[in-house]
Amino acid sequence: MVIYWQGISTSFCGQCFYLDFLSLSPYPSLFRSLCLSLPIPLCFGLSLSPYPSLFRSLSLSLSLSVSVSLSPYPSLSLCLSLPIPLCFGLSLSLSLSLSLFLSLSLSLSPYPSHSLSFSVSLSVPLSLSLSLSLSFCLCLSLPIPLSLSLSVSLCLSLPIPLSRSLFLSLSLCLSFSLSLSLSLSLSLSVSVSLSLPLCLCLSLSLSLSLSLSLSLSPLSLSLSLSLCLSLSPSVSVSVSVSLSLPLFLSVSVSLSLSPSLSLPLSLSHTHHPLEQHTEPVFSLPPPSSTEQQTVVLLARSPSASKTYFPIPVDCLEDETRIRSADDGKLFREEFNSLPSGYTQGTCQEANKEDNREKNRYPNILPYDHSRVVLTQLEGNLCSDYINASYIHGYTDNNKFIAAQGPKQDTVADFWRMIWEQKTATIVMLTNLKERKEDKCYQYWPDQGCWTYGNVRVAVEDCTVLVDYTIRRFCIQYQASDGTKPSRLVTQLHFTSWPDFGVPFSPIGMLKFLKKVKTVNSSFAGPIVVHCSAGVGRTGTFIVIDGVIDMMHQEQKIDVFGFVSKIRDQRSQLVQTDIQYSFIYQALLEYYLYGDTELDVSSLEGHLHKLHNTHTPFDRVGLEEEFKKLTNMRIMKENMRMGNLPANMKKNRVLQIIPYDFNRVIMSMRRGQEFTDYINASFIDGYRQKDYFIATQGPLSHTVEDYWRMAWEWKCHSVVMLTELQEREQDKCFQYWPTEDSVTYGDYTVEMKGSTVCDSFSVRDLVLTYGPDKQTRLVRHFHFHGWPEIGIPAEGKGMIDIIASVQRQQQQSGNHPIIVHCSAGAGRTGTFIALSNILERVKAEGLLDVFQTVKSLRMQRPHMVQTVEQYDFCYRVVQDFVDIFSDYANFK
């Protein structure tokens, strides 16, 4: 409803009470009016499609207001508005309003009228603080003639944090309007507001605005001052004073009480996550030393926060796809709606002078109510402090301790916490150095033992795998009253988190998480999780663990709710929107593929299940398992180099192109463009990254590139899995001499000898490079047991060649192994998959054929090309177990 009084219009929504009780104008009004507005809201939401691209949602809002006034101008107004959210943050609003004066007697006002207006406004966010608004309004009023007006406004707002709890907002608005009656006006306004939160639910706001208007009428200047007290997110009381010059002097004071209540209403039959608006929270971390390095906290949008409801697991794939669209725009919106800042408690202990130097980052501090309290050392009152917080799991309270990476002067406190909390498992999610910056001090000895404070730490063993390293320590507390019994502590160090962003695939993290669950005893104390600051990667790991447990228990996921809950215990957990979206990727990976890991003892039963599907409704058969792999998307957008015209002729099969992110890059030849390309991909091994080079069989014009790759990457082992010709088709050019030597450009290959085994032959080659005649021994393993059609009849030959290659690698220094067939995908992928699977079987007594092959396909397209090759992987492992039936020696 809009009330006009002395040329000033005021809009009301909700339940408002307005009292005009003071006027200093030389033109006093004829009526002192008391107006009560009783709006009747009717709101509902309408979704155009479950997955709209342009219009995410369409809502219609209808409100009817009846005004009863002591003045003789009772009125009725009806307003219909239609807000339309567009893509890329754009929004379009359509509104139609009708105002009727219900005058039953002679009107005392010279301007009573009926009016009908239609307006369209478009809001374009240019940045976080700059927005452009364009509006068009058509108004028809009787008896006053038709009026048409067009206005454009440009507004700039700048938030300025003054301290942890004080916030200043500066805004500048410039507007221009033109009417059909040829009246022109230009206005400029500046406003400054100061917001001071008094407590969690009470805040004080003070604003001052200055407006200057220039029109065909005389110059007008107005000044207003308002004071607002917010009692809760839905109730506020405000007092304002305004002054207008020089047309007339008018001072008015108003008191308003504006409660509001909103209820979500869904008309959809599907369980789509709803959004519920809450008030935004802005706060800064507690003050601390400015000399220390700080963690960069992302700027937040000034828009209101939202709450996101749980997602049923059967909707997870669709919801993840929707949120990932438009470069993850919805993920960013959801992440920015999380509670942020230090709003859930105090950090007084962390800010004490004696404790500040113990914090790695001065803006990442533990709350007092959830911090880990150490036993005080005699004579040191602040010795109970460490930058670590208790964090709840899905069902278990204080399941984790989220800690910062130890500093050199806090290592003793760290081990004292491990001892006092009876921790048996440490999860480390950072490397000691990243981008030449210290992220964590090495708090364990490389070998032998070392004493940190009162805790003696001895290394028992260390196992290095491709994604993580496992270290086992024996720790013992040396107290004044004697030495305590020793304990075993396992540290699992995830080493595959890149310096920037998140891991390329969640597969490694899920394997790591399962290992943590397996290692940790149910009787042990909290699991200590740390990265560098103890919030970003640490929070990501904790959330994935908790929401997977929720998925099993409730058949739904609530990432937003879980992150919000644990942020009550430690601020800023899950630090970036990229980490937030990675959580969804990990949950989707787990939901779609589950836990496919097997113990060797259960392999025979699993194979029987895969090969004995009796009905078409049995979804666990081998074909169905392999079909999940073939449904993986091939990332053609990451094949740019291989698809360049200059490089197309270097590819044997156009469908098998290496991905740009892991292709083998050679040195560029002077003056020759694109000479760094070869159709070859680095593939991870079981223990080592980039352990294999998967490549195609050389073409006649790529042989020199092939040997250049072998030389530059110091390869000593080559595995060939095809014959030169099969079914009268060329599969590979002969790139070695039958006898003596042959030269390809700068490289000479000499035959030194050969050995023939049951299913493969071994050639010893000497590779010589350049004018300096540098030489290198290369051992060539040529597998002959693969028939032209199908797969090998038995797995022993493959087991033997894999064992021979591993022995060669141990002697030559574990440089990359070149593996090729014809196209470098089917047989090549099968060999690499079996090498990794058998290595894990020997080390752990476990296997996961599905995830092993899936990981290979994420590194090179079409690896393990047919269901027969996939089945062959299972059968070779079974043959391996049968050969070594007493497999306890490699568990």
Place of tokens 């409660």: 259
Spatial CB neighbours of 432, under 8 Å, sequence gap ≥ 6: 438, 439, 440, 441, 442
b (16+ CB within 10 A) / e for 201-220: eebebebebebebeeeeeeb
Catalytic residue among 35, 531, 715, 873: 531
Catalytic residue among 35, 79, 347, 821: 821
Q: Taking the mean position of all CA atoms in its chain, how far away is CA 140?
A: 51
> Quick check: is 531 catalytic?
yes
At 208, which helix (H) or strand (E)? strand 203-215
Phi and psi torsions of 259, nearest 5°: -75, 150
Q: What is the distance between the alpha carbons of residues 384 and 427, in angstroms, rounded to a whole number? A: 22
Tokens at residue 603, please?
């392999």
Please report, as a single letter, which amino acid is at residue 68: V
Q: Pick the closest to residue 676 from 663, 684, 685, 667 (CA basis).
A: 667
At 331, which helix (H) or strand (E)? helix 316-336
Q: What is the distance between the alpha carbons of residues 707 and 703, in angstroms, rounded to a whole number? A: 6
Strands 692-695 and 455-464: unpaired
Task: Count other Cβ atoms within 10 Å, centred on residue 749.
Answer: 21
Task: Count other Cβ atoms within 10 Å, centred on residue 887.
Answer: 16
Q: Is the peptide bond before 112 cis (omega within 30 degrees of 0)?
A: no
| DSSP codes, 646-686 | HHHTT-SSTT----TTTB--PPPPTT-TTTT--SEEEE--S
Identify any residues that bridge with 720 across adjacent strands, giving them in sequence order: 782, 820
Contact 815, 716 (CB under 8 A): yes
Q: How many residues does the chain have?
A: 891
Identify any residues that bridge with 229 across adjacent strands, giving them in sequence order: 204, 237
Q: What is the distance between the alpha carbons of residues 165 and 167, in angstroms, rounded to a whole number? A: 7
Q: For 621-759, where are the E strands, in sequence order?
A: 680-683, 692-695, 717-720, 725-726, 729-730, 741-744, 747-756
Q: What is the distance between the alpha carbons of residues 133 and 152, in angstroms, rounded to a whole number? A: 7
Q: What is the distance between the alpha carbons of residues 484 and 827, in angstroms, rounded to a whole number? A: 56
Positive or negative: CA dihedral 730, 736, 740, 744: positive
Q: Is the peptide bond before 246 cis (omega within 30 degrees of 0)?
A: yes
Q: Pick the closest to residue 175 from 138, 149, 139 (CA basis).
A: 149
Q: What is the distance between the alpha carbons of residues 349 and 479, in angstroms, rounded to a whole number? A: 26
Q: Pick the closest to residue 213 from 381, 426, 8 (CA basis).
A: 8
Q: What is the distance between the alpha carbons of residues 500 and 498, in angstroms, rounded to a whole number? A: 5
Is residue 163 helix, strand or coil? Answer: coil
Tokens at residue 472, please?
């086992």
Tokens at residue 233, please?
């997110």
Alpha helices in 463-602 (DSSP H): 507-519, 536-554, 559-566, 577-593
Q: Pick the closest to residue 774 from 747, 809, 753, 751 (CA basis).
A: 747
Task: Count other Cβ atoms within 10 Å, centred on residue 863.
Answer: 27
Q: Pick the closest to residue 228 from 252, 204, 209 (CA basis).
A: 204
Longest dimension (CA), the chain: 120
Q: Pick the closest to residue 682 from 858, 453, 464, 486 (CA basis).
A: 858
Contact 427, 530 (CB under 8 A): yes
Active site residues: 531, 821
